[in-house]
């Protein structure tokens, strides 16, 4: 384990001033400009383009490509992610990835750069203003082999200023909208992008659902996923950090996943990493099991529920038996595949998939009602149990 480093505790005045200026221009300058001059289609288009380009470069680039290497892509895409990622002014990717890898390895400890236990504001943006940690690049040796990553790290301010300020203002100037470009495509866009990113470290470690690991502070939050191109499914991400997806369910909003899958389809990305659907379901069911056990332990202390708990536990045991049956079927499925995969027995593999799908569907139907019950408010659940005991 990495030895704890002594806190540095220094104010990064450059960051404090930068946050203050961009926020002031965004909050005061943007409405003032709209009131005086209105907004043209060009202003909106430029703002939206830089919002999407920088936002996706942080999420699909800085995060899923460089920090977690969940897929591989060509030098052109890597350059674009580095270029527009720098425009978000969220540090060079070498520092960003190093700190993010520390976050996953030492989550919620003093070695976690944005430890939520130090408070909401600290995890949100205070860690960038009141520096209390050291950046150790020993965990990003793979990125240090990339010349473009190292060039961006060495000349970061040129990359950031060029892509995040000079380029949008120049484009705006050619159209006679330089001031609007600075206010909207630079200051307002920066304010929205970096706060959206910071929400992952703050809101998603305090609010939401623990779908796959109930003991993680990381939470799944659909609204933050909407703001961050799919990054808000943070409990899943901490359970499966090497999966190129965050929103794993078909209905979950994850444009990063769709972008990466699309690039893979047209040959611009490869080596996409994804957790097995059976591992994902296993984690999800284990979380439900833990949640239920903890609920039982808390309710059993109430003497009024003695009779109701017998009903409750009987239903729970039925679900648990179904879980055990599913686990046995999953083991058999894996054994069959391991035995026959070298023979390329596609008919057998197809049959095994169908059987597993059928077994999984049966079990999901069995615990669906139980799942709804365990997610109820504790007071409503108590009332339900008392009604059963009556």
- The 3-class SS string of 43-61 reads HHHHHHHHHHHHHHHHHHH
Residue 175 or 363, more confident: 175
Where are the chain's structural domains?
10-270, 277-389
- Position 230 scores a pLDDT of 96
For residues 183-211, average pLDDT: 95
| Residue 263 clears pLDDT 90, i.e. is over it | yes
Tell me what percent of the residues of the chain surpass a pLDDT of 90.
Answer: 63
Could you tell me where the beta strands, DSSP code E, fall in 227-359? 269-270
Of 21, 162, 25, which Cα lies nearest the Cα of 85? Answer: 162
Classify residue 49 by burial, with Cβ atoms within 10 Å: 0-12, 13-18, 19+. middle
> Which whole number is the average pLDDT over 249-269?
95
This prediction has a pTM of 0.80
User: How far out from the chain centre does Cα 154 lie?
Assistant: 28
Mean pLDDT of 30-59: 96
| pLDDT of 368 strictly over 80 | no
Structure tokens at 82: 């580095």
Please give the average per-residue pLDDT across 278-286, as a whole number: 78
* pLDDT confidence of residue 107: 94
pLDDT band at 369 (very low <50, low <70, confident <90, very high): low
Q: Which residue has the higher pLDDT, 380 or 107?
A: 107
Q: What's the pLDDT score for residue 389?
A: 45
Percent of the chain whose pLDDT exceeds 70: 72
Q: What is the pLDDT of residue 276?
A: 83
Of the listed ranges 11-20, 99-108, 207-216, 276-285, the one predicted with least confidence = 276-285
Residues 314-344: pLDDT tens digits? 655 665 666 666 667 666 666 666 665 554 5
Write out pLDDT tens, residues 111-151. 999 999 999 999 999 999 988 788 889 999 999 999 999 99
What pLDDT score does 109 carry?
A: 92
In angstroms, the CA 257 to CA 246 distance is 7
């Amino acid at each position: 384990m990495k030895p704890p480093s002594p806190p540095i505790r220094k104010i990064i005045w450059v960051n404090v001033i930068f946050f203050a200026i961009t926020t002031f221009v965004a909050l005061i300058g943007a409405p003032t400009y709209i009131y005086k001059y209105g907004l043209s289609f060009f202003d909106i288009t430029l703002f939206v383009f830089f919002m999407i380009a920088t936002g996706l470069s942080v999420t699909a680039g800085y995060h899923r490509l460089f920090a977690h290497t969940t897929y591989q892509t060509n030098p052109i895409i890597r350059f674009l992610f580095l270029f527009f990622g720098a425009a978000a002014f969220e540090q060079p990717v070498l520092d960003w990835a190093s700190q993010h890898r520390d976050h996953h390895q030492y989550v919620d400890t003093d070695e976690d750069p944005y430890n939520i236990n130090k408070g909401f504001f600290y995890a949100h943006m205070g860690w960038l203003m009141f520096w209390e940690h050291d950046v150790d690049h020993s965990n990003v040796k793979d990125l240090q082999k990339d010349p473009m990553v190292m060039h961006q790290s060495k000349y970061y301010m040129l990359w950031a200023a060029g892509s995040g300020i000079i380029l949008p203002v120049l484009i705006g100037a050619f159209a006679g909208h330089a001031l609007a470009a600075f206010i909207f495509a630079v200051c307002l866009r920066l304010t929205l992008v970096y706060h959206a990113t910071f929400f992952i470290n703050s809101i998603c470690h305090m609010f939401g659902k623990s779908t796959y690991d109930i003991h993680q502070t990381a939470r799944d939050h659909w609204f933050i996923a909407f703001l961050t191109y799919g990054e808000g499914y943070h409990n899943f991400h901490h359970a499966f950090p090497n999966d190129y997806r965050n929103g794993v369910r078909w209905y979950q909003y994850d444009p990063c996943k769709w972008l990466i899958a699309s690039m893979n389809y047209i040959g611009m990305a490869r080596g996409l990493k994804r957790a097995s659907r059976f591992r994902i379901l296993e984690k999800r069911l284990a979380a439900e099991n833990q949640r239920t056990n903890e609920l039982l332990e808390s309710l059993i202390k109430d003497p009024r529920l003695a009779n109701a708990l017998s009903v409750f536990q009987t239903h729970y045991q039925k679900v648990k038996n179904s879980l055990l049956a599913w686990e046995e079927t999953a083991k058999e499925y894996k054994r069959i595949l391991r035995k026959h995969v070298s023979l390329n027995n596609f008919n057998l593999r197809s049959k095994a998939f169908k059987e597993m799908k059928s077994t999984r569907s049966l079990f999901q139907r069995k615990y669906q009602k139980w799942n709804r019950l365990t997610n109820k408010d504790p007071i409503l659940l108590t009332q339900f149990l008392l009604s059963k005991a009556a």
